[in-house]
Amino acid sequence: MTALSKTKLNGILLIDKPSGMTSHDAVQQIRKLAGQRRVGHTGTLDPLATGLLVVCIGNATKIARFISEMDKTYEAQVCLGRSSETYDSEGVTEEQHAAEVPALDRTELEQMLSGFLGLISQKVPAYSAVRVDGKRLYKLARSGVAVDTPEREIEITDIKLSSYDRPYMELEVTCSKGTYVRSLAHEIGAKLGCGGYLSRLRRTRVGRLTVDGALTLDQVAGYSSAGTLAEQLLPCDQVLDYAAILIRDEFKEHVVSGREPRKEDIFDVEGVFATGDRVFLKDTKGLVMAVGTAGVSSDNIDRSGVDNTLFNYIRVLN
């Protein structure tokens, strides 16, 4: 194993995960290449899926929960006419009989897909890492144990039919945290009455981040060997689109203990925010020190009274 680096890295690394690798294995590789113990991703991609894996390193692991809340966009291929117990190509066998796929035109398909828009209840796949009674569902499924899998409320904000060459349907899907696109593929097949499974999946966007700016693991290895990996890391404020409260230098030592800043501790504000909005707490040089919610709006900080709470801590980063 690569020795831990003496240089502590802090930031977000965008990875283009290859097919055939688990997200956990990708993180393990980054941990070795970066020489850092504190490394984690912000949303699992199935082993067969490719695309954007957002990896947090060092202090940036403290904002992983905020990144994982962001909407995600996928390019998905659905193969109609066959079903899969895993809802993807892994569960398809050659012996399985192919059902006839209904001859639908683009307008009819788009109308069908529109029924999945908005808040919907989605069943978690039996072959998933979700725990039921303390046990992973995929382990129960492989053991032949029948389980009524839980349902989740998810939101699909956009679903576009990119192309259709029967039996293959190409989709672009934008959805909330917790959405299983392979469950969506299974549900589309069920709705059409012919069965369907997810034959290909690529994540292209997480929040404001896109796969266009992501690195392959080979590129990460190259930057690591050259000692320039730190230059590839994104700071927190390039990933999270939050306004900020800037504190004076004398107050910085109180952030670790979670002391709330008063009006005299605030140097300036950056951007516009309303009461209750999530904001950064930054020092005068722009370094993000904490994430929290604003106790007053950006317009009213100068007019706030001594009893006003100006910043409520959620997470201290430094």
Give the residue numbers annotated as catalytic, written as ranges.
46
* Distance in angstroms (rounded) separating the CA atoms of residues 317 and 61: 9
Cβ neighbours, 10 Å, residue 216: 12
Instruction: Please list the residues that pair with 268 across neighbouring strands.
Output: 246
What are 183's two structure tokens? 């469950």
* Distance in angstroms (rounded) separating the CA atoms of residues 37 and 75: 32
DSSP character for 133? T
Residue 10: name the closest of 42, 51, 55 by CA: 55
160 CB burial (10 A radius; 0-12, 13-18, 19+): exposed
How many CA atoms, within 13 angstroms, populate the side-chain half-sphere of residue 108?
6
Single-letter code of the amino acid located at 240 = L
250 phi and psi, to 5 degrees? -65, -20
Could you tell me where the DSSP H helices lie in the chain? 23-34, 64-68, 106-114, 137-142, 181-192, 217-226, 236-239
